[in-house]
Amino acid sequence: MDCPSPNHDSRGGAAVDMLVLHYTGMTSGAAAMDRLCDPAAKVSAHYTIDDDGTVYAHVAEDRRAWHAGISHWAGVDNLNARAIGIELVNPGHEYGYRAFPDAQIAALIELCHGILSRHAIPASRVLAHSDVAPARKDDPGELFPWETLAKAGIGVWPQGMNRELGPEALTRYGYDPNAPQDKVITAFQRHFRPAKLNGEWDDECAALLAGLLSKAGV
């Protein structure tokens, strides 16, 4: 659905290589939409997604929308020229932060799939507003389902957090499945966790192995 905003200008030749996600942080979706389209507010985003999954398009993707503000990532300041910005309707920390409804996230995933097909945006550059402006911003916040998005091919989620990874996964890395497990764990520790050799699997071993598996692509 179109809901054009006058708040945009040229990207100045910059290629889009970043996606920045926000929440609106206002009492209602209508209030947020009014603000994003108010010339006096001088803010905008490319899209807003309402609670029910309705997507509103404000600014064409080839234009610079004004959402990230003073921002920094990977050595570059003021990222709007190279970013696409998406707002999710949510009252935010100031007005009653709450979980993002499934319909809203489903619409976000579909929208992101389209955006990622149109622009070369590395997974590591799908970011929160708070990632690129940590001193000023909290959005979209800790209730945002980054892991769900990563499973849908959008952004990254650290494999190292996978504490369910058991010692049997050592064989995926290359260790002999027929060797005694405590010996394999000790060999793994001797190489990758030399500070504690006990032959026992723990969260740190799982995190280290997960990191190795994601690096090895196995």
**Is residue 130 at the binding interface for Zn ion, with CB under 5 A as the rule?**
no
For the question of residue 61 being annotated catalytic, the response is no
**Candidate residues 59, 129, 185, 210; the one interacting with Zn ion per rule CB under 5 A:** 129
Q: Which of 7, 19, 22, 47 binds Zn ion (CB under 5 A)?
A: 22
DSSP string, 151-173: HTTSS---GGG-TT--GGGHHHH
For residue 85, the minimal CB distance to Zn ion (Å) is 8
Task: Give residue 206's identity as a one-letter amino acid code.
Answer: A
CB of 194 to Zn ion, least distance (A): 43
With CB under 5 A as the contact rule, which of the stretches 16-24, 110-118, 146-154, 207-215 interacts with Zn ion? 16-24
Residue 50 interacts with Zn ion (CB under 5 A): yes or no: no
Shortest reach from residue 129's CB to Zn ion, in Å: 3
Q: Packing angle between helix 181-192 and helix 203-216, nearest 10 degrees?
A: 70
Q: Give whichever of 22 and 82 is closer to Zn ion, judged by the CB atom.
A: 22
Tokens of 183: 């010996």
Cβ closest to Zn ion, residue 87 vs residue 184:
87
Catalytic residue, chosen from 61, 87, 142, 147, is 87
Closest of 19, 140, 33 to residue 90, by C-alpha: 140
Helix (H) or strand (E) holding 147: helix 146-151
**Amino acid sitting at position 78:** N
State how far the Cα of 49 lies from the Cα of 77, in Å rounded to an integer. Answer: 26
H or E, element range at 60: none
Q: Give me the active site residues, please.
A: 87
* Residue ranges binding Zn ion (CB under 5 A): 22, 129, 139
